[in-house]
Amino acid sequence: MENDMNEMDQILEDVRQGWIPSHIYSDAAIFDEEQKRIFSRTWQFMGHVSEVPNDGDYVVRNLLEDSFIVVRGNDTKVRVLLNLCRHRGGKVCRNESGNAQKFVCPYHAWAFKTDGSLAGVPYHQEAYGGTEGLNKKEFGLYRPPHMEIFNGLIFINLDPDAEPLESYLGDFASYLSFYVPDVPGGVEVRGPQRWRFNANWKIGSENFSGDTYHTPQTHASMGAIKLVSSAATSNRKAGVMFAAGRGNGATFRLGDGPGSFEERLGNNGFPKEQIERMRAAWPPEIVALLQQDGLLPSASTLFPNMSLLHISAKIDENDEFAPFTTIRLWMPISATETEMWSWFVVDKAASEEFKRKSYKAYIMCFGTSGMFEQDDIDAWVTLTKMTQGYVSSAVHLHSRMGMNQDGSPLNEPLEEYSGQGTAHIGFNEYNQRRWLNFWAEHLEMDPPAHPIRSGAE
Ligand code: FES
Ligand SMILES: [Fe+2]
């Protein structure tokens, strides 16, 4: 056979055409490449500053097999420290969250301050001959080469040569500021709830990029019991899919043509004072998206594995609706298992009543008790299982919606769109293919320089 492409080149070529070799959703060798080439160089969400409000507050977060401590030091600065003892590799902090003045390794009791510096070594003089043998200044906890904060969201990047977060986000920053607005006083988060399921991490990530096509079917019962409005289920094809920076997402259509901002948000359960705060905090193009286009962002994904969602749900028998926002991470455990991290987000200054209603809407729809969640997981676990069959692993899945058979686009991007980036109306898989193109682009790149071997601390 005349084919000099190696197997990976062929996979990437197929994916770019919208023909997905099904085994990429369960293949351990592919997962190995993803770890080395994707998670090692993309901006990764670690948590929100409101999770560590006071000096010494910390949360422990994983990125694949690496454990990190996100901690606020006595100088009020938030840092991310590698949770690995510089002596013999002990796990320095075993708790998931708390408040500490020092992290003491359980193995031989080296003690690290909240800024990561090594403060105490037992028998420093007797065992090491003091500074002569071991200079404590050189053995602080490692830090990822880059950490940046956007509207309180803490991100790290393990690639020493990473592009800045701002350019990585690009126009997606506008949508990120919709979900996590830059309100005075900031937002607060609850959770994260965490659970595992037997599905490949890419499926959820792609789905949140713009799979509105599954909603009328997978989530039909949510519409039938009127948990959410018809805009959120059966009428999803009236929304548009947007692509901006490293993100992709979907919108609901709340009305045709220009309309009042107050009315649209009011119908979605926003109390009056929240409407005013959101108008002041949201970027002007998000305000215009609602007013001019009658569109409200719903789900989206920042490549590779951070998703965001905003939707309103009915919270009582009087047909009262409340909106909520959630942040979620699709953290891979293996090629066939994912750990979900799900946070609830709310304006810190909102009334306790609004927070309670919004949280109720969240736990009814998403999180461990969420009905949407359960619908989705069933589909994704089944898909992951199916792709492991001898025959089934060899087929190509169809991800070509919105393309003619010759590969040309079926529709052009909208000419008039108030939001950032480009947008397509109706059902399509432009966003999923765009996500898969980012995926292919990363798998083609050499792994980045190692953050520690390159001397970063
Ligand atoms: S491994 Fe941490 S003190 Fe020895
Ligand atoms: Fe879904």
Q: Residue 237 C-alpha to ligand 2 middle, in angstroms?
A: 15
Q: Which ligand 1 atom lies nearest to the CA of residue 109? A: 3
What's residue 454's pLDDT?
59
Q: Quick one: average pLDDT of 45-53? A: 98
C-alpha distances in angstroms, 417 versus 169, 293, 414? 20, 7, 6
What's residue 222's pLDDT?
87
What's residue 456's pLDDT?
46
87 ligand 1 Cβ < 6 A: yes
Q: Which ligand 1 atom lies nearest to the CA of residue 89? A: 1
d(CA 280, CA 177): 12
Q: Which of 433, 437, 441 is nearest to 211 (CA)?
A: 433
Residue 2 has pLDDT above 80, yes or no: no
pLDDT band at 5 (very low <50, low <70, confident <90, very high): low
pLDDT band at 1 (very low <50, low <70, confident <90, very high): very low
Residue 347 CB contacts under 8 Å (≥ 6 apart), including other chains: 181, 183, 185, 187, 274, 277
88 ligand 1 Cβ < 6 A: yes
**Mean predicted lDDT score pLDDT of the chain:** 94
More confident call, 332 vs 2:
332
Ramachandran area for residue 377 (φ above 0: left; ψ -120 to 50: alpha; else beta): alpha
User: Count of residues for the chain?
Assistant: 457
Ramachandran area for residue 116 (φ above 0: left; ψ -120 to 50: alpha; else beta): left
pLDDT digits (tens, 9 = 90+) for 342-379: 999 999 999 999 999 999 999 999 999 999 999 999 99
Residue 19 has pLDDT above 60, yes or no: yes
d(CA 86, CA 142): 8
Residue 405 has pLDDT above 70, yes or no: yes
111 ligand 1 Cβ < 6 A: no
104 ligand 1 Cβ < 6 A: no
What's residue 127's pLDDT?
97
48: β partners: 153
Nearest CA to ligand 1 atom 3: 108
From the CA of 90, the nearest ligand is 1
Q: Residue 139 C-alpha to ligand 1 middle, in angstroms?
A: 12
Residue 235 has pLDDT above 90, yes or no: no
d(CA 114, CA 261): 45
Q: Which of 165, 145, 163 is nearest to 155 (CA)?
A: 165
- Of all residues in the chain, the percent with pLDDT exceeding 70 is 97
Q: Quick one: average pLDDT of 229-248? A: 86
pLDDT band at 227 (very low <50, low <70, confident <90, very high): confident
What's residue 218's pLDDT?
93
Q: Fill in the DSSP letter of residue 236.
A: G
Q: Quick one: average pLDDT of 416-443? A: 96
30 ligand 1 Cβ < 6 A: no
Q: Quick one: average pLDDT of 293-314? A: 96
- Record the pTM: 0.96
**Is-contact 448 40, C-beta < 8 A?**
yes
Type of residue numbered 271? P
332: β partners: 338
Q: Quick one: average pLDDT of 440-456? A: 84
d(CA 143, CA 83): 9
More confident call, 236 vs 314:
314
Token pair belonging to 48: 């929100």
Q: Residue 333 C-alpha to ligand 1 middle, in angstroms?
A: 26
Which of 82, 102, 107 is the pocket-test mutation for ligand 1 (most atoms within 8 Å of CB)? 107
Domain 171-443: give its CATH architecture. Alpha-Beta Complex (3.90)
Q: Quick one: average pLDDT of 312-335? A: 95
Element of type H or E holding 117? none
91 ligand 1 Cβ < 6 A: no
Whether CATH 2.102.10.10 fits 44-150 = yes
Q: Residue 88 C-alpha to ligand 1 middle, in angstroms?
A: 5
Where exactly does CATH 3.90.380.10 map onto the chain?
Answer: 171-443
105 ligand 1 Cβ < 6 A: yes
Looking up tokens 């499926």 gives: 203
What's residue 247's pLDDT?
98
Q: In what order do the strands lie in the sheet with 240-244?
A: 187-197, 337-347, 321-334, 306-314, 295-302, 247-253, 240-244, 422-425
User: Residues 52, 58, 60, 66: what is their CA dihedral angle, to the nearest 10 degrees?
Assistant: 110
* Angle, alpha carbons 307-312-318 (nearest 5°): 155
Q: Positive or negative CA dihedral for 250, 255, 257, 258?
A: negative
Q: Quick one: average pLDDT of 98-108? A: 98
CA 95 to chain centre: 23
Q: Residue 134 C-alpha to ligand 1 middle, in angstroms?
A: 14
Provide φ and ψ at 199, rounded to 5°.
-140, 155
pLDDT band at 410 (very low <50, low <70, confident <90, very high): very high
Residue 455 has pLDDT above 60, yes or no: no
Burial (CB count within 10 angstroms: exposed 0-12, middle 13-18, buried 19+), residue 447: middle
Type of residue numbered 341? W
pLDDT band at 205 (very low <50, low <70, confident <90, very high): very high
Where exactly does CATH 2.102.10.10 map onto the chain?
Answer: 44-150
| Lowest mean pLDDT segment, chosen from 99-103, 299-303, 316-320 | 316-320
Which of 81, 85, 94 is the pocket-test mutation for ligand 1 (most atoms within 8 Å of CB)? 85
